[in-house]
A and B are shown apart, each in its own frame.
Chain A
Amino acid sequence: MIRVLVAKPGLDGHDRGAKVIARALRDAGMEVVYTGLHQTPEQVVDAALSEDVDVLALSILSGAHPTLVPRIMELVRQNHMDDVLVLLGGIIPEDDVEDMVQAGVAKVFGPGTDTNDIVRFIRERVKDE
C-alpha cells in the first residue's frame, strides 16, 4: 500500500488544489494522510515521520517555497527520511523549479497538471509492498 502525506505548509488561505490531489491519489488506491492548512515545516515532517509515508506531497501557493522547501528538506534529512519521495505543487515560478529540485524535491507539478501524471510518477518511483 502506497502511503502519501498531502501537506500545506505556510499561510495559504485555501486548499482546494491539495484536496483534489488527495482525492485523485485515493481513487488511485493510495492511502492519503491530510493534515489541513497552516502547517509549519516541523509539523509537516513530524507527520510524515509518524505516518511513515512513502511520498510527501507539498502544496504551496503563497510564494514562500524558497524558504519553506529547503527547511522541510533539511528536517527530512535530519530525521533520516531519505527514502521519502518529495513532490511539490501549487504556484512555483518556472525560474524556481531548478532550485527546488536542487533542494531535494523529486518533481514539481505546476497548475493544470493532469492528476494521472502524478499518479503515474508516484507508481514509477515507489515500490508498492
Chain B
Amino acid sequence: MKDLDDLKQGIFQGQKRAIARGLTWIEQGRQEGKLLAQQLFAHAGRAHVIGITGSPGVGKSTLVNALTLHLRHEGYKVGILAVDPSSPFTGGAILGDRIRMQDSVMDSGVFMRSLASRGHLGGLSRATFGALTLLDAAGFDKILIETVGAGQSEVEIMQMAQTTMVILAPGMGDDIQAIKAGILEIGQIFVVNKADRDGADHTVRSIRSMLGLTSEHPDWMPPIIKTVAEDGRGMEEVSQALFRHHQYLTEHGLLDRFRWTQTEHVIEQAVSDLGERLVRQARLDSSWAKRVVAVGEGSVDPDRVAEEIWRHTIGED
C-alpha cells in the first residue's frame, strides 16, 4: 500500500484500508499526501458536501448518525468527517464522535473518520479539504462534515460545505442572542434537535425572527426543522431540505461559484501556513532576541520588524 498508484486504485474501488491510509497521508501533510490530494482533485466534485455545526451538546454526532442511516436507506453512500479539538498544550486529542455513530458506521456504504483540529482555528482541521476531496473521489455521494462544537467564529465550514446546517437545541434562548452574529448567519438549513423537550417552538420562533432581520439569502429562505435525532424523527424532512438546497444551488449556477471561492480559500489558507512557517523560522534566527528587545524598548514598532523579517526571508536585504 506504500505506492501512490496502488493507493489511488484502492481509493477508487472504495477499499476502506486504502481510504484510511490515504487520509493519514493527507493529515500528515507531507509531499506524498499533497500529491495524492492533487491527483484526486480531478476525480472529485460529484459529492454533495454537507456541514453540520452548532454549540457543544446540541446533538451533532447523534444527528449525523441518524441522518446517515436515513441517507443509506435512500441508497446514498455516505462519508463522514468529524472534527474534535486538539489540546493547545500537548497537541493530543480525544476523538469521541464515534461513540454516538455506532449504528451507522459498520455499513460498507459508510466511511467515518475522526480528525483532530491540530491547532487549526475555524472549527475544522487543516486536512479537511484534502480529506473531503479523497472521500469525494472514492465515490461517496454525501459527505457530512461535523465541526468542533462551535460558537461565534467557527465559520470556516461555509467554505468547505455546499450546504451548512446549524443545529440548535431548546433552552438556548439567550444563546441565540449570543451567536446570532456568528454561526447563525451561515446556516442554509436550521435544525432544532431534541425537539421533544420543552421550549422547542420558542427556539424555532427565535431563529425565525432572527432570520427575518438578515437579507443574506435573497432566493433561499432557510427552513427550520424540528428533529429528535436519537430516534430518527425529522430525518426525512432534513433529507428533503438538503435535496432542495442542492437543487437550488444547481439551478442558480451556484455550485461553480462555490467551487471557485472554495479554491480561493484553500490557497489563502496555504499562504497563511507559509506565514506561520515564516514566524517559526524567524524565532529560530539569531536576530530574534534583538528584535524583541528593540520593540520592548520602543525603538521600533512590530510592523516594521515584521517587514524586516519578511525582506530577510525573501532575500531582499
- A positions within 8 Å CB-CB of B: 1, 3, 22-23, 25-36, 39, 42-43, 46-47, 49-52, 79-81, 129
Interface size on B, residues (CB 8 A): 29
Once the chains bind, are B96 and A34 in contact (CB under 8 Å)? yes
Chain A facing B: main interface SS: mixed
Interface residues of B in 75-98 (CB under 8 A from A): 86-87, 90-96, 98
Say how far A2's CB is from chain B's closest CB, in angstroms: 9
Assuming the contacts A26-B93, A50-B105, asked whether A31 and B116 have C-beta atoms less than 8 A apart, the reply is: yes
Once the chains bind, are B92 and A32 in contact (CB under 8 Å)? yes
Once the chains bind, are A129 and B91 in contact (CB under 8 Å)? no
- B positions within 8 Å CB-CB of A: 16-17, 19-21, 23-24, 27-28, 86-87, 90-96, 98-99, 102, 105-106, 111-114, 116, 118
Once the chains bind, are B94 and A32 in contact (CB under 8 Å)? yes
Once the chains bind, are A34 and B24 in contact (CB under 8 Å)? no
Once the chains bind, are B98 and A47 in contact (CB under 8 Å)? yes
Complex Cα distance, B27 from A42, in Å, reads 26
Chain B contacts for A22, CB-based, 8 A: 94
Complex Cα distance, B114 from A33, in Å, reads 7
Once the chains bind, are B92 and A27 in contact (CB under 8 Å)? yes
Chain A contacts for B95, CB-based, 8 A: 31-34, 51
User: Looking at the complex, which one of B20, B87, B98 makes contact with A49 (CB distance below 8 Å)?
Assistant: B20
Once the chains bind, are B17 and A49 in contact (CB under 8 Å)? yes
Chain A contacts for B111, CB-based, 8 A: 50
Once the chains bind, are A49 and B16 in contact (CB under 8 Å)? yes
Once the chains bind, are A23 and B23 in contact (CB under 8 Å)? no
User: Looking at the complex, which one of B17, B19, B116 makes contact with A79 (CB distance below 8 Å)?
Assistant: B17
22 pairs from A and B in contact (CB 8 Å cutoff)? A1-B28, A1-B116, A1-B118, A3-B24, A26-B92, A32-B92, A32-B93, A32-B95, A33-B96, A33-B98, A33-B114, A34-B99, A35-B102, A36-B99, A42-B106, A43-B102, A47-B105, A50-B16, A50-B113, A51-B113, A51-B114, A81-B17
Say how far A75's CB is from chain B's closest CB, in angstroms: 13
Once the chains bind, are A27 and B90 in contact (CB under 8 Å)? yes
Chain B contacts for A51, CB-based, 8 A: 20, 95, 113-114
* Chain B, residue nearest A129 (CB): B28
Complex Cα distance, B91 from A1, in Å, reads 9
